[in-house]
Structure 1
Amino acid sequence: MRRHLIVLALAAGATGAGVTAHWFIADKPHRKSGVVVSATGSAKAGPELAAADSALRPFDQAALRQSVRAYIRTRPGKAGVMATDLRTGLTFGENEKGRFVSASIMKVDILASLALQRQRDHRWLSGGERELAGQMIRESDNSAADALYSHAGYGAGVRKANKSFGLQNTTPFSPSWGSSWTSPADQVRLLTNLASDGSPLNASGRRYILGLMGSVLDEQAWGVSAAARPDEKVALKNGWTPVRHQGHGWTINSVGRITGPGHDFLVAVCTGENPTMETGVSTVEHVAGMVVEALRAARA
C-alpha cells in the first residue's frame, strides 16, 4: 500500500498547526467508509487465513528494534513508534516515550476530552460542536480545532481528561493546541481508550470519534494507513507542521487503528526535525510498515 506523493500545496493555517498542507496522491487505493480498498487482491479468509496463522513465528522484538533503529539512523531528524495488536497482545516500541510536537494529532485528544466532559455532564455534543468535530478530524480544519479547544477548557480541560485516559507524556499547550507535546506511547494509550471497553468514554462516544477518523479526506489518507492490507479498515489522524520555536524542520506524525482478520493494530509514529514534509511522510510510512508487518508475522 505504498503510494506516490506528487504535489504539495501549502496555505496559511490557523493557530497551532501553523500551516495547512495537502498532498495530492497518485496510485493510491480507493477508500470508502473508512475501508481501504485495493484495485487488486483481497484479504485472506477461511482456510487461507488458517494456513497463514500456522506459519507465524515467535515475535523477535530485539531483531525488530535493531531493524527499526538501523532505518531511523539513515533518516534525517528523529522518530519514535509505538504499536500494539489488541487481538494477539503483542506490542512494540522504539523511542516510544520520546517527546514530539503534536501538530494536528492533538485534535483527537481535544475531541476525546470534550466528549468525556459532555458525557460526565449527562449530555452529548451540540449540533454545532458535531459540525466542528467533523471539520476538525476529517478535514483537519484548524479554526474548528481552535473553537473546540476552547469548549474543552483549553489545556487545563484536556489535561484533566488525559488523567482519566492514563496519558503520561502529553502536555497540552494553551492556547496553541498544535504546540502541545506528546509521545507515541501516549498516542497509543489514547487510541486504546477509543478502542477498548475499559475506557471512561462510553461506546457511542468511542464509535463517533473512530468513525470520523475512518472518513478523513483522501488527500490526508497517508501515514499509518500505508501499513494496511487490502480491505482492512483504517481510522487515522495525521499531523504536520514546520516548527520554528520548539526546534526546527517539519514535525510529521500519524496515529491510527488498522483492523482486519485476526488483527486490531493501534499505531503511532511521531517524527521531528525533518527537512521537508515529504521526508517525514516517507519515514512515518516506512516505520509503520516495518512494525505492523513484523507484528502480523509473529505469534504471541
Structure 2
Amino acid sequence: MIIHALLAGTLTFTGAPPAGSEEVTRSLDRFLRTRPGPVTAMVKDLRTGRSYRYHRHERLITASGAKVQILMALLLKTPWAKLGKAARHDASIMIRHSDNHAADRLWERIGKAPGFTRAGRAFGLKHTAGVPGDCLDLYCWGITKTSAEDQVRLMSALVRESSPLPAAERARVRSLMGGVVDGQDWGVSAGACKGERTELKNGWLKRVSTKRWAVTSVGLIAGRYAVAVLTEGSAEAGDGIATVEGVVRRLMLRFRAAC
C-alpha cells in the first residue's frame, strides 16, 4: 500500500527556478490512489541539475531494466570494437528485443552478480547489487532491487563526459536503447515532445510469489532528461504499463515547459 504524503516527493534545484514539488506529488498521489502496489520515480534535468523524486526510499526490482547495467558492465571490461560477433549480437538483442537468454549469457560474461555489482559501484550506484547464485534460465538479474535514484545515476553516466564509460561505448548503449523494437518503446517515451529522441529500456516481470507484475521504465529524453519509474503489484502487464506512462506524463508535464 502506498503512503500518500507530500513529503514522499522531493525537488532540488541547481540554477533553475522551483517547479512545485508539492504540486507534482499531489498529481501523482491522485493518479496512483486507485492503482495497486508501490511506485517510485525520479526525473533529473542533466543540464541544470534540477530533480524530483517520488517515494525515494522505495527499493523495487529492475525486471529487464537490469539489462542496461549488464551491457554497461560488459563495455567497461571490453570495448565494443573488441567484442566478438556473438557477444555483439547478444548485446543488441538483449537491449532491442529484451532477449532473456542473451542477457543470461552476458551475465555470465561480466562475472555474474559480483561483476554486475562492481560495475554499479563504478557508475555511482548506491542501492543496487546483483543477486548471487546461478541465474541461468532463471533471469535472477531481473529481481535485482534498485532505487529510482540509482537508475537515474546510471542514465546520467551515459551522458556525462566524466563517466567511467568512454564516449564511444556510451554512444553504442544509447544507440541500442534508441532502437528498441516496436511494442517495447512505451514508458519513458510517453513524456517526450513530438520529434524528441527517446532512449529507453523497459522491464516487465510476473512475480512467482504474488502472480503480480513488476513493470519498469528507465531512459533519456532528448539526451537531457533522465527518467526512471519502477512499479510493482499490477494484475496485468498492460496495467503496469499504463501506470508507468501515467507517472511519466505527470512528471514531465510539471517538470518542464509544455511541448
Give TM-score scaled by structure 2 length. Answer: 0.87
Give the SS at the match of 2:49.
coil
Verify: 1:224 aligned to 2:184, yes or no: no
Structure 2 vs 1, CA of residues 123 and 225 (structure 1 numbering), >3 Å: closer, same or farther?
A: closer
Partner of 2:66: 106
Superposition pairs for residues 194-205 of structure 1, below 5 Å? 194-205=158-169
Which residue, 185, 208, 214 being the options, matches 1:251? 214
2:22 pairs with 1:62? yes
Correspondence for 2:143 among 161, 179, 201: 179
Identical-pair percentage: 39
CA drift at 1:61:
1.3
Counterpart among 69, 79, 88 of residue 130 in structure 1: 88
Indicate the SS of the match to 2:155.
helix
Give me the whole-angstrom Cα distance separating, in 2, the residues matched to 1:207 and 1:236.
Answer: 13
Aligned structure 1 segments of 4 or more residues deviating by more than 6 angstroms: none
Please say if 1:146 is aligned against 2:104.
Answer: yes
Does the alignment pair 1:71 with 2:31? yes
Contact 1:250–1:272 at 8 Å: present in 2 too? yes
Match of 2:246 in 1: 286
Q: CA deviation at 1:125?
A: 2.5
* Residue 170 of structure 1: aligned partner: 128
User: What is the one-letter code of the residue matched to 1:275?
Assistant: A
Q: Deviations over 1:222-241 (max 9, x none)?
A: 11101111110010000001
The reply on whether 1:94 has 2:58 as its aligned counterpart is no
Q: Which has the higher contact order (CA 8 A, sep 6+)?
A: 1
Amino acid in structure 1 at the alignment position of 2:184: Q
Structure 2 counterpart of 1:224, one-letter code: V
2:230 alignment partner in structure 1 = 270
Number of corresponding residues: 237
| SS in structure 2 at match of 1:195 | coil
Does structure 1 conserve the Cα–Cα contact (< 8 Å) formed by 2:120 and 2:129? no
Q: Please give the root-mean-square deviation of Cα atoms over the aligned residues, in Å.
A: 1.9
The structure with the greater share of residues assigned to strand is 1
AA of the residue aligned to 1:149: W
The answer to whether the Cα contact below 8 Å between 1:115 and 1:124 also exists between their aligned partners in 2 is: no
Cα deviation, residue 127, structure 1: 2.2
Q: Residues 82 and 92 of structure 1 are in contact (CA less than 8 Å); yes or no, is this contact kept in structure 2?
A: yes
Note if contact 1:228-1:258 (Cα within 8 Å) is conserved in structure 2: yes
Aligned partners of 1:124, 1:95: CA distance in 2, in Å? 41
